[in-house]
Structure 1
Amino acid sequence: MMSSSKPVYKDYFGRIGGIPLYKKFIKYWHNVEKFEAKPDDVVIVTYPKSGVKQLKEIASPRIVKTHLPAELLPVSFWEKNCKIIYLSRNAKDLVVSYYFFFLMVTANPDPGSFQDFVEKFMNGEVPYGSWYEHTKSWWEKRKNPQVLFLFYEDMKENIRKEVMKLLEFLGREASDELVDKIIKHTSFEEMKNNPSTNYTTLPDKIMNQKVSPFMRKGVVGDWKNYFTVALNEKFDKHYEEQMKGSTLKFRTEI
């Protein structure tokens, strides 16, 4: 029997500190660990597909984006006391978004059916590991005055309030003009139509947006269109076990 030439799912990933990461990324891990932060760097951290906003308008000299959990963030960022923004998103909407991302990025392994992918997600067998551990690791850091923990759902509900919170955290004056400008540039429609944020300039062989657009829906509660009743019950039970003892609470609809 002939074997398929495409590697199996798990062959795409290695592990650093027990966390699955792309092998190509691991190859350069020594550069990540040795990264030299500058005190005025602003770090934006998300678990993949959590809806990072364009923050060029309020950038200090450098914005560094990463998907790393707190324990793998280069130590230099902590030593230099850099400001860190963590943007979180509820697990159900996130797993739907992550699944479609897997389908459209041609370099990604085949995620299987949606149900298969949800199982992988629940077991932390996806790039950057367990969403539960990732989110909890950053939630624990929120007591650090240099860390701001934000919720995607809050941004969808009241973007002005969250932008003002962000500007205050960064020590920037929240003028109406600046707040309006940021709101305009970070609106989903604006980003969906902007080639610098929607990746439409990339060829199909890298990102096949005929399968799914990179900027897909950006709504809260879309998970209801994909979870069966049985899968939802299983997910809820597992979620409760994973998040037991944590004060972190998400909204799956607004």
Structure 2
Amino acid sequence: MTVQYVQYKGIKFPPGYNSVESLSFAENKFEVQDDDIFNVTYPKSGTVWMTEILSLILSGGDPAWNQSVLNSLRAPWFSTQLGLETAHDSPSPRLLTCHLPIQIFPKAFFTSKAKVVYTSRDPRDIVVSYYYFTKMCTTYEDPKSFNQFLDSFLSGDVPHGSWFDHIKGWMELEGRSNIFFISYEELKQNLRGTVERLCHFLGKELDDAAITSVVENTSFQAMRRNKMCNSTMLPKELMDQEKGTFLRKGICGDWKNHFTVAQSEYFDRVYQEKMQGLNRIFPWEQTGLVKSS
């Protein structure tokens, strides 16, 4: 079945939850509160993981909130019709989630004291995870093949737009005191250290036991068991988990099991071309994908 994507400012968004009206409202009219915390990612970059981490930090390490309230209610997708209503009803400090690129992000943010946590990830791993996700999520077009999806990803012709534009747009704000940049790879390498840094960024001082609780309850296995974040509560009409698992592997480097040599070389060429001028070394560039100067 053909999916009719919602088009907004040259970017396509999955139908159902998104509309031109909800996206325009998010950009132009959404009222940002000074204590808002935005969890911003490109799809398949660790969105659910960061939602769980931030939820636990806000609840002082107590897992009760994470284990009893759906993550979409704890951290509503405010740019969707349903998420906007939930966001309006949420007590402060609000935890808000989105995949919005910088040019569609709420304008009110830039004159506020609100904070953003932006999580990035190796784009090759994103391609693999996104490919499997689109096969099981009914509001996305089922890709004809991995090679076709790779082409679409590299050209930016996928829901939520170009990864390259997304990360470059957000990285232009690096250095602002109210934006925290972290990568999926850093979370895997040093979760506890990252949790401690996030606590400091958010002004939430947690003791060792509380931080340990955050770390233990955001392990991949703990999240896979938690029905409030593993998407098993979603109806089959939206997420067909017979076609795959929403929380699939949670590892770094899975792209090596999917890319051919030719696909890897092709990806490297496009990456180097599109990422030129971005004066930053990402963790995944230390093992390949090094930008030419």
Quick check: TM above 0.5?
yes
1:38 to 33, 37, 44: 33
Aligned position for 1:29: 23
The answer to whether the 8 A contact 1:102-1:111 is kept is yes
Q: Which 5+ residue runs of structure 2 have no aligned equivalent?
A: 59-91, 288-293
Counterpart for residue 87 of structure 1? 119
Aligned equivalents of 2:172 and 2:272: distance in 1?
A: 18
Which residue of structure 2 lines up, in the alignment, with residue 184 of structure 1? 216
Please report the RMSD computed on the Cα atoms of aligned residues, expressed in angstroms.
Answer: 1.6
Q: Would you say the 8 A contact 1:13–1:127 is kept in 2?
A: no
- SS of corresponding position for 2:181: strand
1:3 is matched with which residue? none
Secondary structure of the corresponding residue to residue 267 of structure 2:
helix
Q: Which residue of 1 aligns with 2:169?
A: 137
Q: Can you list the C-alpha shifts for 1:192-231, whole angstroms capped at 9, x where unaligned?
A: 1110110112222221112110000010000011101111
- In structure 2, the partner of 1:56 is 55
Moved more, 75-84 or 218-227: 75-84
Instruction: Work out the percentage of aligned pairs sharing the same amino acid.
Output: 40
Distance 2:242 2:168 in 1: 35
Q: Which residue of 1 aligns with 2:291?
A: none
Counterparts of 1:116 and 1:173, CA distance in 2 = 47
Contact 2:5 2:12 in 1 (8 A): no
Whether 1:12 aligns to 2:44 is no
Matches of residues 190-209 of structure 1 in structure 2 within 5 Å? 190-209=222-241
1:220 aligns with 2:252: yes
Shift of 1:23: 4.8
Contact (CA 8 Å) 1:168, 1:174: kept in 2 or not? no
Q: In the aligned structure 2, how far is the partner of 1:217 from the partner of 1:249?
A: 25
2:44·2:130 contact (CA, 8 Å) conserved in 1?
A: yes
**Equivalent residue, structure 1, for 2:42:** 47
Within the alignment, does 1:164 sit opposite 2:196 as a pair?
Answer: yes
Q: Deviation per CA, 1:28-84, whole angstroms, max 9, x where unpaired?
A: 223313111111110110001111221212236210001001121111122222011
Structure 2 length-normalised TM: 0.80
How many residues are matched? 246
Which moved further from structure 2: 234-243 or 175-184?
175-184
Cα deviations across residues 161-200 of structure 1 (Å, max 9, x unaligned)?
A: 1111111111111421221111112111111111011011
CA–CA separation in structure 2 for the residues paired with 1:35 and 1:62: 13
> Residue 154 of structure 2 aligns with which residue?
122
Within 2, Cα distance between the matches of 1:30 and 1:119? 29
Q: Give the Cα separation in 2 of the matches to 1:185 and 1:142.
A: 29
Uncovered stretches (5+) of structure 1, i.e. residues with no partner: 1-5
Q: Is the 8 A contact 2:8 2:23 kept in 1?
A: no
**Larger displacement relative to structure 2 (125-134 or 172-181):** 172-181
SS across alignment from 1:44: strand
**Residue type of the alignment partner of 1:21:** F
Range 203-212 or range 112-121, more displaced: 203-212
Distance, in Å, in 2 between the alignment partners of 1:75 and 1:81 is: 13
Contact 1:124 1:131 in 2 (8 A): yes
Range with greater deviation from structure 2 (157-166 or 105-114): 105-114
The aligned amino acid for 2:5 is Y
How many Å separate the matches in 2 of 1:30 and 1:245? 30
